[in-house]
A and B are shown apart, each in its own frame.
Chain A
Amino acid sequence: MPEFPVLSAIVAVPFLGAVAVLCVPARRAEVVRSLGYLTTVTTLGLAGWMLWDFRAGTGTFQMVEAHPLVRSLGVSWIVGVDGFSVFLVAVTALLFPLGLLASEGITERVKAYTFWFLLLEGTILGVFCSLDLLVFFVFWELMLVPMWFLIAGWGSAARRYAAMKFFLYTAAGSAFLLAAILTLGFLHRADVGVLTFDVRALAAWDGPAPSTARWLFAAFMVAFAIKVPIWPLHTWLPDTHTEAPTAGSVILAGVIIKMGAYGILRFCFELFPQASVDAAPIVLTLAVIGILYGSVVAAMQRDAKRVIAYSSVAHMGFVVLGLFSLTVIGVGGATFTMLSHPLTTGSLFLVIGMLYERRHSRRIEDFGGVGKVAPRLTAALLVATFAGIGLPGLSGFVGEFLSLLGAFLTQRWWAVAATFGVVGAAVYMLWMVRRIVSGVPGEAVAAFRDLSGREIATVVPLLALSLFLGVHPRPVLDRIGPSAARTVARIDDRTGHRSPHLDRVPVEVGTARHDRAATPATGGGPVEGGR
């Protein structure tokens, strides 16, 4: 009996939910809302099933499904998850119901809002699950549309400008991505004779000539760097994050910018190992600049949302630093950060959104004295802040520490410079929190009510999970580790690069030509095996 296609279901359910929402009359806002919850919670349940089924200790793709889609273009529906994507799928599925919960305050055009929101979930999950480059691209590009409508329709004052800037920046990057994907596919066809965009088949191929590979790598990298964002391509992010509605900011900062880092990990490293190694010094430099620049600029902001937005630039700098350290620890740490950052930044945006709903201002100076009036709100803000800073015991610390450690092994001075960013984070975050929390409450602030039950239900799961992962990261690291080891071993195998301590990590090299692993891993089988 064929197994239940969990991943296809995870991608399909939000789309089906969106269509269902479309069929409900706009007057029945409560039906629309319930449908939204039903869809997102079902997706979350399926994601839980996927996590439960996911086997630790192997770095290959699991739960793979493959069906040809358009033969003349070589497009197939191939989904699968490995240690990198499985948690991104899970955290996406977690953020969406919470995002809906945080959107209860939206009363205008609820039907359209829910429709776009569910569509957004489907496209993001599609990005993380697809193993076919063209299908990946379709989801990648399609994601822009619901996000654009959410920002343009329910954002704040400068939303039209922000929406347009967001769309254009990302679409310009994607243009190069599409050109590179097609070129790669047809070069593969000219060499091997089969037109396919299956990333596993393309990775198993020797690849195009080195000079061509560098161009293609650059094209992929531009698209992903804009999304991450890597300095100096970050300028869309503060505008977009600031103008988006609260749930939009949560999703943007939580998962959409992870798509860029995920793309680097999944496609740049797999398809162009040599070019990745060659480009590492440049990208690392940009990452460190981003970390320091993000910290400094964040400290200068007067708008609370912009502080968090710039902090995201800095945090994503750590992710890129870890990735391009090209060490198992660094890549693992970066992936862990990609999981933890949605929790911390997501909760920060949620809390800022709650402050905004009470005061209708995001200017830090309009607050002050919140601590005296709303103790529970303050507690949530403080925990979220500490998680964001990377206080040991919360999830932010684990990922950042591992990224820095990995970078220190191979790229010592970059790591040293980046460490200042950790200090910077403490400066701008604590400064902002102090200005919001302490002081004498003004007239407007004095009227604040504390967190309602709904608001607690929105933010507490994220903070609890952040605490759990900070104390006990083991289950996650066990699942990320083998994939990180496989990717790094593959890069070492294809290039002259040698990453330290690879032999100490249990490795299972799926596609590498000779197995450098010292310790045989549990389970295994070829890449295609799946489950």
Chain B
Amino acid sequence: MRAVPPIDWLAVAPVAVLGFVVVAVVMLRSLVRRAGWVTDAATLLALAGIAAATAACVLQWREVRDRGAYQAVAGAVAVDGFSVFVSIVVLGAAAATLLLSRRYVSVHRLPYAVEYLVLVCCSVIGMLVMAGANDLLVVFVALEVLSIPLYLLTAFDRRRRGSLEGGMKYFVLGSFASAVFLYGVALAYGATGSTALPAVAGFLARTTLVDAGTLLAGVMLMLVGLGFKVAAVPFHTWAPDAYQGAPTPVTAFMASATKAAALAALARVLLTAFDAHRADWRPAIWGLAVATLVFANLAALAQRDVKRMLAYSSVAHGGFILIGIEAASSRGRAAALFYVAVYAVMAVGTFGVLAVLARRGERFDLTAFAGLGRRRPVLAGVLTLLLLAQAGVPSTSGFVAKLGVFAAAAQARSYALLVIGVLAAVVGVVYYLRVILTMYTGSVTDDTEPADGAAGEGGAPSEPRPRVDAATGFVLAATVAATLWFGLAPGGLLDLAERAKLLF
């Protein structure tokens, strides 16, 4: 009988803490059925868990800095700068999601508020594992752990057809993609004899495959699976529906945390295990990046619904991040990480504003934004800044992020991708500016009754002016501060991203 592998508790601490929180919250919920304070207590518990997990990540960072990166749990998990960086991004996004959800859940009277919290925490567990997954099978398990709660969360607003539809599409296509990924893992295992990333990399470095067909087929199938989670064109089709249908805080969570975790897995698998075959996968990533940049930006241009437009824009941001991965260099990795972190902040903020503005039916027709600059100057200002950042305007973090991936492309001499990227960024400017333009100069006739008239659902005309509670206000203020801070003084975060190296 094989002994249980020794467990490095620090390595699994973030996951363990959150697992404990999940169990505790479920217990609490089952023991105290009726009391109203359960939701508050559960929220506090979850936030405390996230804070503790973040603290553990900081300890991990110091450990890695002092003693170098290492593997844990029998090589299943890597603890390196990369995993810690991504974990902190995921945890930050999760905390923001919980804060945004508080108001949203009560205003929209979503049932099962506590279960909602549990699902978010479960998904975060999957993402944390994914950030450090050092084995193809662990990647798969993490993928499932993070996805299944997300399917449920997407469909959480059962009374709304869009939510159910989005959840269903996400579920069907997502399970399919997971299966394809697993098939790819099997083929790669057949070709290399292992699923552990270091073993695969070692094998490929030592061996020249006469016929690499099986291996390449495996890599490509894995790319399909991960490309689905990243929502890279042509595997993005679920994203607009799921993003639009999901309750808006969940959309913020998907756009920030899920994207970060999926890109982390993609980068780790490609840059470590299959680094020897970079000449084979770089063209594939190139194609994914170009297709994503071109299609997603053009599709976003055609949208009338702002939330759907932002969904496509989120897909487009994935394309920019892929530029950094395509460079297959340390600069490219750092640029992709920086972009992931910065985009997570922007996405949380942007969807956070939408969550405040959301009325019944979750319709965000462009005309509903007319005159927002006059009605809600502060909210409009926040949205303006975040949209400008997404557009990549200098002095915001979005510019530095784009600059980073473009610089990586220039260094890797991918000039065609560089030019396509900068042009895609210009196209992107159009749809972001269109929203801003509507907010400040939209025709006055639309001012009096925005969303309801456009949505045609006849919502109560006396619906109260949406208020911003303290938690949401805190999140929005934090995202604005971070967006400006990383835009004006990006040195610190760039430095961290650079030091967030992979295990090998």
Contacts and interface: CB of A to CB of B under 8 A. Distances in A.
Given A171-B429, A175-B425, A182-B406, A141 B441 contact: no
Interface stretch (B74-82, B261-269, B350-358, B488-496): B488-496
Contact of B393 (A134, A142, A182): A142
A142 B394 CA distance: 6
Interface stretch (A162-170, A346-354, A512-520): A162-170
Given A167-B429, A168-B430, A179-B422, A73 B441 contact: no
Nearest to B415: A183
A176 B437 contact: no
B46 interface: no
B407 interface: yes
A107 interface: no
Contacts of A142: 393-395
A179 B422 CA distance: 7
Interface string A49-76: 0000000000000000000011111000
B403 A73 contact: yes
A100 to B, nearest CB: 21
Contacts of A164: 430, 433-434, 437
Interface in A128-178: 134, 137-139, 141-142, 144-145, 148-149, 152-153, 159-160, 163-164, 167-168, 171-172, 174-176, 178
B437 A179 contact: no
A73 B491 CA distance: 9
A179 B414 CA distance: 11
A183 B415 CA distance: 8
Nearest to A182: B410
A73 B399 CA distance: 13
Interface in A234-251: none
B395 A138 contact: yes
15 contacts: A70-B491, A71-B491, A72-B491, A72-B498, A73-B404, A145-B388, A152-B437, A159-B441, A164-B430, A164-B433, A167-B433, A171-B429, A175-B425, A182-B409, A183-B410
B395 to A, nearest CB: 6
Give 7 nearest A-B pairs by CB, closest first.
A175-B422, A182-B410, A138-B394, A142-B394, A186-B410, A186-B411, A171-B426
A185 interface: yes
Contacts of B407: 73, 182, 185-186
B284 interface: no
A474 to B, nearest CB: 39
B186 interface: no
Contacts of B425: 175
Contacts of B494: 70, 72-73
B419 interface: yes
B440 interface: yes
Contacts, number: 85
A486 B394 CA distance: 33
Contacts of A171: 426, 429
B174 to A, nearest CB: 35
Nearest to A184: B410
Interface string B26-51: 00000000000000000000000000
Contact of A134 (B395, B403, B409, B419): B403
A179 B410 contact: yes
Contact of A148 (B404, B426, B433): B433
A72 B330 CA distance: 12
A145, A168, A171: most-surrounded residue (chain B CB, <10 A):
A171
A134 B407 CA distance: 11
Contacts of B422: 175-176, 178-179
Given A168-B430, A179-B410, 9 more contacts: A72-B334, A142-B393, A159-B441, A164-B437, A168-B426, A171-B429, A172-B423, A182-B418, A186-B411
A151 B13 CA distance: 54
B403 A152 contact: no
Contacts of B415: 179, 183
Contacts of A153: 440-441
B485 to A, nearest CB: 14
A167 B411 CA distance: 28
A152 B394 CA distance: 20
Interface in A168-216: 168, 171-172, 174-176, 178-179, 182-183, 185-186, 189
Nearest to A153: B440
Contacts of A185: 407, 410
B429 A178 contact: no
A120 to B, nearest CB: 13
Nearest to A145: B393
Interface in B78-96: none
Contacts of B406: 178-179, 182
A175 B433 contact: no
Interface in B376-426: 388, 393-395, 399, 403-404, 406-407, 409-411, 415, 418-419, 422-423, 425-426
A25 B128 CA distance: 45
A134 B490 CA distance: 14
A43 B168 CA distance: 60
Contacts of B440: 149, 152-153
Contacts of B399: 138, 141
Interface string A438-482: 000000000000000000000000000000000000000000000
A375 to B, nearest CB: 39
B437 A70 contact: no
A69 B394 CA distance: 15
A153 to B, nearest CB: 6
Interface in A62-112: 69-73
A343 B334 CA distance: 48
A102 to B, nearest CB: 22
Nearest to A134: B403
Contacts of B403: 73, 134, 178, 182
Interface in B460-503: 490-491, 494-495, 498
Contacts of B404: 73
Given A141-B393, A167-B433, A179 B441 contact: no
B129 to A, nearest CB: 30
A153 B495 CA distance: 39
A70 B497 CA distance: 13
A73 B393 CA distance: 18
Contacts of B498: 72
Interface in B433-454: 433-434, 437, 440-441
B495 A179 contact: no
A144 B425 CA distance: 15
Contacts of B433: 148, 164, 167
B331 to A, nearest CB: 8
A71 B331 CA distance: 13
Contacts of A148: 433
B395, B410, B419: most-surrounded residue (chain A CB, <10 A):
B410
Contact of B426 (A134, A159, A175): A175
A172 B428 CA distance: 11
Contacts of A183: 410, 415, 418
Contacts of B495: 72
Given A134-B403, A138-B395, A160 B441 contact: yes
Nearest to B377: A26
Nearest to A163: B437
B437 A160 contact: yes
A139 B407 CA distance: 18
A287 to B, nearest CB: 26
A148 B437 CA distance: 10
B437 to A, nearest CB: 6
Contacts of B491: 69-72
B410 A175 contact: no
B70 to A, nearest CB: 26
Contacts of B429: 167-168, 171
A148, A182, A185, A189: most-surrounded residue (chain B CB, <10 A):
A182
A171 B415 CA distance: 19
A152 B399 CA distance: 23
Contacts of A70: 490-491, 494
